[in-house]
Amino acid sequence: MTTTVGLVVNPAAGRDIRRLTGGASVSNNYAKRRTAGCVLAGLTVRDDIDVRIMPDNGGLAESIVADAPSGIEIEPVEMPITASWRDTRTAARHFSDVADAVVVLGGDGTTRDVAQTIGDVPVVSISTGTNNVVPTPVDGTVAGAAAAFVATGIVSVEEASLTHGTIAAEIEDRKGDETIRGLATLGVLDQPFVGTRAILDPSHIVGGVVSRASPAEIGISAIAGALITHRPEDPGGVGFRLSRGDEPGTPVRAITVPGNLSEVRVADYEVLDDGEPYTFELERGVISVDGEREREVKDGYIEIRPVADGPRIVDIDAVVEKAAREGYFSEA
């Protein structure tokens, strides 16, 4: 029986301004191609795996297909190419019907777009973005092997993965009503324009809601994580609001941008249940989603809630360790 693994490689990941202004890593298309080649090599740990890859308009997927190791059947998904986030969601929707697992090379935004349409298919997420919370910086060969073991049922999806929380923001403002979804973080900023998208100055953060919080992470989740740890599989999330001007607050230090340890003051924070709202009123500002400024708001009311309907993220180490215990890396 043939097993199908989907492969999403985002050509745009890892190219924002944080690589110039801070210590963020860079991942060009050559590096992504090499990582994807390692993923394909890792998949050969199991037989009879077919790979379907998201196409792009820059030739990256074509190069990956051309360089694929022997023993792997790989071909692009037949789909329209828009050179935008829509491609990731279209490919993920296709994989939700045909794939036994999907491997994603990108950042938080790419993983979020996959999560919108992937359903219950387990996701192996590899960091090739700029400043990531969800994707794991892991060798592609190891990640490919983990995907193979999960896709072929050697390690069950229940054992192999956690269901990641998400966040939904309901926005009411002059532009009309809109719902925005995030995976790890939804932030409220006092900046008037989306601009370069990256959040470079923590003084512009008004507050936000996160589905995970840890001082070991970078960005908005690190601010909440300075006060409380909230695991990605924990129900609910954490809402917080920073002090403005001379307003009192608890000083915390957090890594908000790679290479920068920032100090902010937290006026209020609250552990939220699934569906519990945390609200903001904003005369003028911007909503950020998973570390990138997304939507301008004017005279807006924002209600943000944790939502328990996220993707199944594979624990790569747990999968390969279990496979090793069961003898799949050794000969009896």
Residues 6 or more apart whose Cβ sits within 8 Å of residue 78:
none
pLDDT at 299: 94
Tokens read off for 102: 């999907």
Question: Is this structure's pTM higher than 0.85?
Answer: yes
Q: What is the domain class of 166-307 according to CATH?
A: mainly beta
CA distance 298 to 88: 30
Report the chain's mean pLDDT, rounded to a whole number: 90
- What would the pLDDT profile of 263-274 be if each residue is shown by its tens digit? 999 999 999 999
Q: In what order do the strands lie in the sheet with 49-53?
A: 73-76, 49-53, 3-9, 101-106, 123-127, 312-314, 161-163
Neighbour count for residue 75 (Cβ, 10 Å): 13
pLDDT per residue rounded down to tens, the chain (332 residues): 789 999 999 988 654 544 444 544 556 888 999 999 999 999 999 999 999 999 999 899 999 999 999 888 999 999 999 999 999 999 999 999 999 999 999 988 899 999 999 999 999 999 986 568 888 889 999 999 999 999 999 999 998 899 999 999 999 999 899 999 999 999 999 987 776 667 778 888 999 999 999 999 989 999 999 999 999 999 999 999 999 888 999 999 999 888 888 899 999 999 999 999 999 999 999 999 998 888 999 999 999 999 998 999 999 999 999 999 999 998 65
Residue 45: which of 76, 75, 6, 72 has the closest Cα? 72
Give the type of residue at 198. Answer: A
pLDDT at 25: 54
Going from N- to C-terminal start, the domains of the chain cover 3-163+311-325, 166-307
The angle, 0 to 180 degrees and rounded to 10, between the axes of the packed helices 29-43 and 140-151 is: 40
pLDDT at 75: 96
Neighbour count for residue 214 (Cβ, 10 Å): 18
Helix residue ranges, H only, the chain: 18-21, 29-43, 60-66, 85-98, 108-117, 140-151, 157-160, 220-225, 316-325
Tokens read off for 176: 């009309």
Residue position matching structure tokens 């990108």 = 106
Residue 117: which of 149, 154, 141, 89 has the closest Cα? 89
- What would the pLDDT profile of 103-121 be if each residue is shown by its tens digit? 999 988 899 999 999 999 9
CATH code of the domain made up of 3-163+311-325: 3.40.50.10330
How does 155-167 read in b/e, with b if 16+ C-beta sit within 10 Å? bebeebbbebbbb
Same fold across 3-163+311-325 and 166-307: no
